Amino acid sequence: MRLAVVGVTGLVGNVVCRTLEARNFPVTEFIPVASERSVGKTVTFRGQAYPVIGMAAAVEMRPDVAIFSAGGSTSLEWAPKFAAVGTTVIDNSSAWRMDATKKLIVPEVNANTLTAEDKIIANPNCSTIQMVVALTAIHQRYGIRRLVISTYQSFTGTGVKAVHQYEMEKTGQKITPEEMAYHYPIFENCLPQCDVFLDNDYTKEEMKLVHETRKILGDDTIGITATAVRVPVHGGHSEAVNVEFRQPFDIDEVRQLLAATPGLIVEDEPAKYRYPMPLFAKNRDEVFVGRIRRDESIENGLNLWIVADNLRKGAATNAIQIAEYLLQQELLPGTKVAVE
C-alpha cells in the first residue's frame, strides 16, 4: 500500500499523518509530497524521517492512494495526473466537490456508491461533513424541507497563517497586516465571514453548506440558508441547525435514530449540563450532537447542536475513512495482499 500525502507540510497534511498513525492504516510505503519550496524538508511518520518530494516525482512513483490537502488549484492541476497513472486521489479541497462526474463522500452516509473506477473522490467541506452525519437518518425517515444553519467555526480551519495570527494576538505580540489571515483580530473576537463574499452577499463557506448538503443527501429540493462565523476556538466547529421536516416527527424516535448512527455520539442531558463542546471534541474522530429539542415556533421543527473536530472528522479522518472503505471493499490496487 503506497500512500502519498500531498500538502504534507501544511496544517491538515500534518493531521492526516497523525491520524494515519492513530488509526493504524496499513501503509507499506509512505510518500510525503509538497510544493517545490518544501522539497527536501523532512517529515516524521511512525517515528521515521522522510524527505519531502515534489509533485512530478510523486506521480512517477505511482502511489496506490494520494490524500490531497494542498488547495484547489493544485488539485485541479495534479489530481488528474495522479489518477492517470492509476492512483486513487482523495481530495480535501473544494476543487471537485460540485463536479457532476465526481462523488462527494461521507463514509457513514454514501460510501456504498464508490467503485474501483472512482479515481478522484471529493472530501466535503468540514462543516458539511459533521452536519450530514447527524442529518442523514432523520432525513431518510421524515424528509427535510428546510435547514437554517449557524456555524461557529474554529480559526484552525483557515490554516497555518490563522493559527499564527491567533497565537501572536493571544501573547500580545505585534503582528503586521501581511501576517494576518483575517481583516480583523480573531483573539477574543467573532468574525461573521468564512472565506470570501460572493455576489449574493453570502460567503463561499455558506454556499458550500447549501450545495454540498443537497448533493450528499441527494435532494435538490431542500431549502438551505447558512451564516458561518469564525470563532477563537481551537477544538473544532460547532453548528446550531434548525430543521423543518416535511411530516410530523416523534422526538423519541429522532433520538433513537441519532443514537444508532455510526460515527455519531449523542450528548444530550440538559439537567446534567451534558451537551457537545469543541473543547472535548478536539482530537476525536466522532461527531457529537445534543440540545435536541422541538422548535415550538413552527410545525415539524427541530433544533440540533452539532460539534466535531474540523481537522479530524472535518478533513483528515473523513479522507482516511474513505481510503479504509476502499481497502475493505477491495477497490484499491493490492488490496487483497493488504487484507491478507
> Domain coordinates of the chain in residue numbers?
2-95+315-339, 127-309
Q: Is the pLDDT of residue 141 over 50?
A: yes
Q: Is the pLDDT of residue 339 over 80?
A: no
Q: What pLDDT score was predicted for residue 340? A: 40
DSSP 3-state assignment of 195? coil
- Name the nearest CA neighbour of 234 among 268, 272, 278: 278
Q: What is the mean pLDDT of residues 293-299?
A: 98
**Active-site residue identified among 17, 126, 139, 194:** 126
Average pLDDT of the chain to the nearest whole number: 96
Cell numbers 466547529: residue? 237
Domain covering 127-309 in this structure, CATH number? 3.30.360.10
190 in catalytic set: no
At a CB cut-off of 8 Å and minimum separation 6, what does 37 contact? none
- The pLDDT confidence band at residue 332, using thresholds 50, 70 and 90, is confident
Cα 268–207–112 angle (5° rounding)?
Answer: 65
At a CB cut-off of 8 Å and minimum separation 6, what does 331 contact? 88, 114, 115, 116, 118, 325
Q: What is the mean pLDDT of residues 99-111?
A: 97
- Name the nearest CA neighbour of 142 among 22, 256, 262, 265: 256
- The pLDDT confidence band at residue 30, using thresholds 50, 70 and 90, is very high
Give CA 40 to chain center in angstroms.
Answer: 29
- Tell how strand 88-91 and strand 223-231 pair up: unpaired
- Name the nearest CA neighbour of 12 among 322, 329, 284, 313: 313
164 in catalytic set: no
In the structure grid, which three cell numbers stand for residue 7, read together? 500538502
- Domain 2-95+315-339: CATH superfamily is NAD(P)-binding Rossmann-like Domain (3.40.50.720)
**Active-site residue identified among 17, 139, 194, 237:** 237
Looking at this protein, which amino acid is placed at residue 299? E
Looking at this protein, which amino acid is placed at residue 11? L
How far, in Å, CA of 106 to CA of 130, rounded? 9
> What's this model's pTM, rounded to 2 decimal places?
0.95
List the strands of the sheet with 223-231, edge to edge. Answer: 223-231, 144-154, 237-245, 301-308, 287-295, 264-266
- Tell how strand 301-308 and strand 237-245 pair up: antiparallel
How far, in Å, CA of 179 to CA of 182, rounded? 9
